[in-house]
Amino acid sequence: MDLATHYAAMWARALPQLQANALRLDAPLDDPQDARRGLTLIARPDAALQAAVQELLAELRALEPEQYYYPLTDLHVTVLTPLSAVAGFRLEHVDAAAYSRVIATALARVPAFSIDFRGLTLSAEAVLLQGFPQGTALSELRATLRAALMASGLPQTVDQRYVLQTAHTTVMRFRRPLREPGAFRQALERWRAQPFGAVPVYTLELVYNDWCHRRASVQPLAEFSLPGPQILRNR
């Protein structure tokens, strides 16, 4: 299934839940003791994309202020999740440097790539910008990383929640019932095909993160250049 079809299918599945105001609310988002933590390899959007998203977030927030809106500094694309965020996981449980070494080796011949963000889609949990990677570099990168992590013997949960195919950026999560589902749907439909711009990806980051990748909770572990294998920073 191509990405456009995949995103359209997501929208079609979630729209009836939105209309019925029967979305999957993320209650732990309001819990200051939320202990969900994981290891994630991410790409960060540039300032141009952040600026392009501001108007969307302002419009949605005006309609539904009680939902969770990602700060622009927290926006990211998940490239792969070596360890999914779960309650109780702590960084000292694993050898973070070992993950950095495996990833650096796997990225040795991976070229830089770009992601074109066009329109948005919907899930029962969130609103997402649709990302379309240019070329095959991202899919090949993911396949190489999956194989490397599985062969490494390191603890990993790759693809246990779902097989990551998209290059989306989550911009909002549902944490309360909607005030006006109809008006919210109309707003989403106005942005459904809006172009947000292409983002070049020259570096990737391995981070220790909470569920929403809040800057205050994210701990950068390593940064990798594309093509690798140089580790720009290892913390």
pLDDT of 16-52, one tens digit each? 999 999 999 998 887 877 889 999 999 999 999 999 9
How many domains are contained in the chain?
Answer: 1
Per the domain annotation, does 235 fall within a domain?
A: no
Per the domain annotation, does 220 fall within a domain?
A: yes
Looking at residue 159, its pLDDT comes to: 62
Residue 158 CA: distances (Å) to CA of 95, 106, 117, 120, 123: 17, 15, 25, 25, 21
What span, in angstroms and rounded, lies between the C-alpha atoms of 34 and 212?
Answer: 11
Per the domain annotation, does 140 fall within a domain?
A: yes
Per the domain annotation, does 234 fall within a domain?
A: no
| 84 contacts 224 by C-beta, under 8 angstroms | no
Amino acid, single-letter form, for residue 91: L
Per the structure, the complete domain to which residue 220 belongs is given by 3-229
- Does the structure show a pLDDT above 60 at 229? no
pTM given for the model: 0.91
| 213 contacts 76 by C-beta, under 8 angstroms | yes
Q: Look up residue 179 and give its two tokens.
A: 């005030």
Amino acid, single-letter form, for residue 39: L
Per the domain annotation, does 14 fall within a domain?
A: yes
Per the domain annotation, does 12 fall within a domain?
A: yes
Looking at residue 157, its pLDDT comes to: 78
pLDDT of 61-108, one tens digit each? 999 999 999 999 999 999 998 888 988 888 999 999 999 999 999 998
The secondary structure of residue 85, as a DSSP letter, is: E
Per the domain annotation, does 105 fall within a domain?
A: yes
- CB crowding 125-135: b at 16 or more within 10 Å, else e: bbbbbbbbbee
The secondary structure of residue 156, as a DSSP letter, is: -
Residue 172: CATH number of its domain: 3.90.1140.10
Let me know if 67 is exposed, middle or buried by CB neighbors in 10 A (0-12, 13-18, 19+). buried
Name the H helices within the chain.
3-19, 47-63, 96-106, 137-152, 181-190
Let me know if 6 is exposed, middle or buried by CB neighbors in 10 A (0-12, 13-18, 19+). middle
| 13 contacts 128 by C-beta, under 8 angstroms | no
